[in-house]
Amino acid sequence: MSRRQQTTGNLALEQKKVIVIEAVQRPETQKLRVAAYCRVSSDSSDQMNSFAAQLNYYTTLISGKDNWTMTDIYADAGISGTSAQKRPDFQRLLSDCRRGRVDKILVKSISRFARNMADCLSIVRELRELGVTVIFEKENISTKDPNFDALTSLMAEFARSECAQKRPEFQRMIRK
C-alpha cells in the first residue's frame, strides 16, 4: 500500500489574488442605438402624408424610450422597394450598421424594407451577423425570431406580388 500525501490545493488557489477589470462603459448605462427606416414608393400627396407620419411616429417612439438613443431616421421617398441598390438612404443605413453604429432597426412593415425576397433575406442575414436586430411592426416579428426566415419568405413574396399587381411594367419583368 502506498501512503497518500495530503495537499492543501494548488498555488493559484492559495494566493487569493483577484484582478478587477473595469468595463469601459457599464452595461446598465449603455443605451441601445436605434434607427428607423421609412419608405414610400411614390410622391403622391397621400403617400407623402404617410411618409411624414412615419417620420413623426419613429422620432417620438425612439426618443420616448429611456434606454434607447436615436441613431438616425433613414428615409427614401418616391422610390420603389424592388431594389435595395436604388435606395440611397437604405444604403446609408446599411453602411452605418456595418460601421457598428446601429443595434436595432424599426420598420413599419416588410414591404417598406424590401419587396424583393432575395434582397430582404440576404440583407437580414448580414444584419444578424453584425448583431443588428430588425423589428417589423405591422407583422409583429423580429429578426431574432427563430422562424423569421420562413415567415419573411412568405411575407416578402406577398409584398412582391402586391407590387407586381400595382405596377404592370414590374409584372412584365417577372414573366421574362
What residues pair up with 107 in beta bridges, in sequence order?
A: 37, 136
Mean pLDDT of 111-125: 82
SS percent in the chain: helix, strand, coil, step 5? 45, 15, 35
Q: How many residues make up the chain in this entry?
A: 176
| Least confident range of 45-59, 97-111, 112-126, 151-165 | 151-165
**Whether the predicted pLDDT of 160 surpasses 90:** no
Beta strand extents in 31-146 (DSSP E only) = 32-40, 68-77, 104-107, 133-136, 141-142
Q: What percent of the chain has pLDDT over 90?
A: 32
Which pLDDT score, from 0 to 100, does residue 72 have? Answer: 93
Close Cβ partners of 37 (under 8 Å, ≥ 6 residues apart): 73, 74, 75, 89, 90, 93, 105, 106, 107, 112, 113
Backbone angles phi and psi of 145, in degrees to 5? -65, 130
Question: Nearest-5° angle of CA 123, CA 125, CA 131?
Answer: 105
pLDDT band, very low/low/confident/very high, at 176 (cuts 50, 70, 90): very low
Instruction: Give the strand order in the sheet containing 32-40.
Output: 68-77, 32-40, 104-107, 133-136, 141-142
Q: Which of 103, 171, 90, 96 is nearest to 131 (CA)?
A: 103
| Least confident range of 15-19, 42-46, 104-108, 168-172 | 168-172
Q: Which of 47, 46, 122, 36 is nearest to 80 (CA)?
A: 47
Which pLDDT score, from 0 to 100, does residue 39 have? Answer: 84
The cell numbers describing 142, all together, are: 423580429
Which pLDDT score, from 0 to 100, does residue 52 have? Answer: 81
**Whether the predicted pLDDT of 120 surpasses 50:** yes
**Whether the predicted pLDDT of 174 surpasses 50:** no
Q: Which of 52, 22, 32, 30 is nearest to 40 (CA)?
A: 52
Which pLDDT score, from 0 to 100, does residue 167 have? Answer: 59
pLDDT band, very low/low/confident/very high, at 65 (cuts 50, 70, 90): very high
- DSSP element (H, E) containing 90: helix 88-98
